[in-house]
Amino acid sequence: MNKRPCYRRFERIVFKYAVSGLFAILFLGTGSKSYCQSFFYFENKISISPDSTLTYYTFLTQYDNGRGIARIRYTEPSSGENRLVEINLRDSADARGGLESQEHFLIDEGEPLPIQGAGLAGFLMPRFVFKMQKEEEDVFYVPDAIAYQWPDGSWRTSEMLVNQQKSNRDLKKERDLVSVFFNESDAFYLYLYAMRTSPRDPTKRKEKLYLITVANTLDSTIAKSTRRDVANVVKIFTQLTTDANMDMLTQMVIDSALSKRAVELVLAKLRPSPVDIVVFYYSGHGFRYSNDKSEYPRMSLRTSQKAELSKNNMSVEGIYKVLLTKKARVTIVLSDCCNDDIGEPVPSGPTLMKSRGPSGDYIPVLNKGVMNRLFFPQKPLAILIGSADRNQLAVGNPSLGGYFTNSLTVELRKVLYGMPENATWVSILANTKKQASWLSLSAACGDNRCVQSARFAVTP
């Protein structure tokens, strides 16, 4: 279990609040050097014969979970037809480069999709090359080159004519550029130009969000990962509640405050109203007994291996049942931990590339329609999530944190600060499950690749 936050500076702040007892309203800044998605514009020239060249124009959206999507416009050489192609991309990183590979590639995943023009004749598949850079304690990757695959399978590096990173604010001023790749009915176009421009809802909401985070941040084998996890989760809900203009009351049971008694005390004191939201999040060691009936794991709440495990654990599904009795409008219980024997070593996979945040103030706009659908439903909603199924281990690394938490927070940001089509909790969790599952295959569990398949239930 492990992960990395979309916003980095925050994690230096969050751990002051490792208290157990009353809930507190948290007021935090949103400054950061790293975001969950970045936009790039490229122009590349390719020599296809001694006297002929081809220029590709590319708009790339890169996410900090190892995924990306590119729209590429070009003129087909033989017909002169103007074409637009969309391709899904993934990070090719694997364990050979360690936690911080000097070079990463975004490569195609699946077949290209023609958006405009007849077919794909003459289209050359790209490979985006990113190089690592360091800035103080921050590590990020910047686009360095684009190579294209020739019909014989070989790769040729193109001439980079334009390599620009774009912020939302930049793109709002460059409608002509965006129109090269998106028409006025595309979700991304609507997000940029049809949504309100103010990031904060002007009307104070009466609903509150209660966030309970429980994490083992002292165990040397997982401490860096769990701290990333907590920062990741708190940050996404902090921005959501700030932009929705509602209070977030948070309680952290971490560091030396971690104990079964502390968690029980927090649950006992929780008093949400029928319109409120309750989110319980756990990152740490997880396990199961051989005779456990629940498909979800138990949380190990020990700060010392000498403590008796049988007296220092709680069932994730048991927490869920307790919280349901509080009768909040939305109840979410999420655990990012192993779901196997307690003695199994925690697997660690490679890191994924992330981009440096755009220069200047970056203020994403909250999609109120999506927010209302997810967090303010007409009927009560309950969600139970385990990052690993029965007899599976949860994977991540110290740089990213847990793969599942990383994937979930990136997915939430994509739908809350974008224009998704019909996003639901089921679709969000299904996409997160698929992404975390793919990432886990990069790590070794014993002599085999790790298989991690999240389990979740959404009611109704």
Which residues lie across from 146 on neighbouring strands? 128
Q: 209 φ, ψ to 5°?
A: -110, 120
| Predicted pLDDT of residue 16 | 39
In the chain (460 residues long), the average pLDDT of successive 10-residue segments reads: 33 39 47 66 93 94 90 91 95 55 87 92 92 80 94 94 93 95 93 74 92 96 95 96 96 97 97 98 97 98 93 98 98 98 89 74 79 96 98 92 96 89 93 94 92 97
| Predicted pLDDT of residue 102 | 81
| Predicted pLDDT of residue 19 | 44
b vs e for 268-303, b when ≥16 Cβ sit within 10 Å of the residue's Cβ? eebebeeebbbbbbbbbbbbbeeeeebebbbbbbbb
Please provide the average confidence, as pLDDT, over all residues in the chain. Answer: 88
Q: Which residues contact 307 (CB under 8 A, 6 or more apart)?
A: none
- Taking every pair of C-alpha atoms in the chain, what is the biggest distance, in angstroms? 77
Within 359-440, residue ranges assigned H as helices are: 368-375, 403-416, 425-440
Domain ranges of the chain: 11-32+198-459, 37-193
Using the 8-state DSSP alphabet, how is residue 123 labeled? -
| Predicted pLDDT of residue 454 | 98
Query: Which run of H or of E encompasses 169?
Result: helix 168-172
Q: Which residues contact 400 (CB under 8 A, 6 or more apart)?
A: 2, 3, 4, 225, 228, 351, 352, 406
Asked whether the CA dihedral 264, 266, 268, 270 is positive or negative, the reply is negative
Which CATH architecture does the domain made up of 11-32+198-459 adopt?
3-Layer(aba) Sandwich (3.40)
SS3 105: strand
**How far, in Å, CA of 134 to CA of 102, rounded?**
10
| Predicted pLDDT of residue 113 | 96
